[in-house]
Amino acid sequence: MNMLTFSMLTLALLGLLASQRERAAPNPKIISESPFTVVGISARTTNAQEISGRGVIGTMWQRFMGEQLLEKIPNRADSNILALYTSYESDANGAYTFVLGAKVTSAKTIPSGMIAVKIPAGKYFVLTTDRGPTDKVVPEAWARIWSLSKSQLGGKRAYKIDFELYGPHAADPQNAQVQIYVGIK
């Protein structure tokens, strides 16, 4: 399944959540994250745009992987890929900026066509997906997250920064495990 289909599935599941009853996530934790910087490619989008098939997330994943952009990011802190949802206009219904990149130790050199995003210190609800195909486990995890109450999340969603961490356990997209960080107040 390509990344466009993956993104569409993710957002379609989000749309179905209104009719689902709340259930607890199987392995959540609340953490405080120190500030860090991410360098990568970005585009502005909305959930409605992504669901409609006119989204940019799938195309960005294809470009990022196809052009091996991770290798072109200087001063990478590690080999993880980060998918950021930031600069929210309002909430899940407003526009946001999607950034696909990597954590860096320095943003002094930013490749052409990329941006640097400073992630402030913050509190996050963290959920680790089940192990399986990314196009299945990531949308299922987001569906769980979207169905949780404020108390189950450990606070109200901040709509500042949310991100997915594709680390060593996500190297095989058919048998991946991804961590999802949701900013909370």
Using the predicted structure, report yes or no on whether residue 4 has a pLDDT greater than 60.
no
Using the predicted structure, report yes or no on whether residue 103 has a pLDDT greater than 60.
yes
> In whole numbers, what is the pLDDT of the chain averaged over residues?
87
Using the predicted structure, report yes or no on whether residue 97 has a pLDDT greater than 70.
yes
DSSP 8-state class, residue 73: -
Using the predicted structure, report yes or no on whether residue 167 has a pLDDT greater than 90.
yes
User: What is the CATH number that goes with domain 3-184?
Assistant: 3.20.80.10
Q: Per residue in 27-75, pLDDT tens?
A: 789 999 999 999 999 999 998 898 888 999 989 999 999 999 999 999 9
> Both ends of the chain: CA-CA distance in Å?
35
- Please report which confidence band the pLDDT of residue 77 belongs to, taking 50, 70 and 90 as the band edges: very high
**Structure-model confidence comparison of residues 139 and 98, the more confident one:** 98
Run of H or E including 87: none
Sign of the torsion angle spanned by Cα atoms 38, 91, 93, 148: positive
Query: Mean per-residue pLDDT for 63-92?
Result: 96
Are 39 and 104 in contact by the 8 Å Cβ rule? The answer is: yes
Determine the pLDDT at residue 50.
Answer: 85
Using the predicted structure, report yes or no on whether residue 24 has a pLDDT greater than 50.
no
Contacts of 98 (CB under 8 A, 6+ apart): 42, 43, 44, 45, 56, 57, 60, 83, 84, 85
- The C-alpha atoms of residue 34 and residue 51 are separated, in whole angstroms, by 33
Residue spans of the domains in the chain: they are 3-184
Least confident interval from 13-22, 72-81, 125-134, 157-166: 13-22
